[in-house]
């Protein structure tokens, strides 16, 4: 791998890491006003989409571990964003339900995500955004291949 010229793979990786760090900082500061952490809006959005899933459904849909889902759900429940209801068909199963507060905050998080996207892409025209999206998808595919290799070991 060459590191001595502009556009080297390492330079691209370093730029991506810096972008990700800046995004995480901005997201953390934005979510702070709601009492949420970085991964929690995704859970609120997924709850809205799936309509009363259980913890395993959330973990599967977001590709996170069941224990990570459990920790986030407990925090969301403690904050009043969700509640657990016993499944009417299977009393062993709890369904996760957005509270009114959770629905409202999901809406506000939607607006903040739109603002974040607008700021992120403000210096790109439509054609450039399409090219960036294509490149990000290709980068994701490369990492998915790596993920599969790591999981198979």
Contact predicate 88/53, CB 8 Å: no
Cβ atoms of 38 and 24 within 8 Å: the answer is yes
pTM as predicted: 0.78
In angstroms, rounded to a whole number, what is the distance separating the alpha carbons of residues 121 and 127? 12
Annotate the chain with DSSP letters as a single string.
---SSTT-HHHHHHHHHHHHHHHHHHHHHHHHTTT--TTHHHHHHHHHHHTS--HHHHHHHHT--HHHHHHHHHHHHHTTSEEEEE-SS-TT-EEEEE-HHHHHHHHHHHHHHHHHHHHHTTT--HHHHHHHHHHHHHHHHHHHHHHHHHHT-
pLDDT in tens, the chain (153 residues): 445 566 788 999 999 999 999 999 999 999 998 889 888 999 999 999 998 899 999 999 999 999 999 999 999 999 999 999 998 888 888 999 999 999 999 999 999 999 999 999 999 999 999 999 999 999 999 999 998 999 888
Instruction: Output the six-digit token pair for 131.
Output: 């090219």
CA distance 106 to 40: 10
Residue 63 buriedness (CB in 10 A; 0-12 / 13-18 / 19+): exposed
Judged on CB neighbours under 10 Å (0-12, 13-18, 19+), 35 is: middle
Q: Quote the CA–CA distance of 1 and 25 in Å, as a whole number.
A: 30
């Amino acid at each position: 791998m060459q590191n001595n010229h502009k556009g080297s793979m390492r330079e691209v990786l370093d730029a991506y890491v810096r972008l990700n760090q800046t995004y995480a900082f901005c997201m953390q500061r934005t979510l702070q006003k709601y009492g949420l952490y970085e991964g929690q809006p995704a859970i609120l959005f997924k709850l809205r989409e799936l309509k009363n899933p259980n913890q395993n459904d959330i973990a599967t849909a977001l590709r996170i571990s069941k224990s990570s889902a459990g920790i986030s759900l407990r925090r969301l429940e403690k904050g009043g964003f969700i509640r657990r209801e016993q499944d009417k068909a299977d009393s062993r199963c709890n369904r996760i339900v957005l509270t009114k507060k959770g629905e409202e905050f999901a809406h506000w998080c939607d607006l903040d995500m739109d603002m974040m996207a607008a700021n992120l892409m403000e210096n790109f025209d439509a054609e450039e955004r399409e090219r960036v999206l294509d490149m990000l998808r290709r980068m994701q595919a490369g990492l998915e291949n790596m993920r599969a290799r790591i999981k198979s070991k």
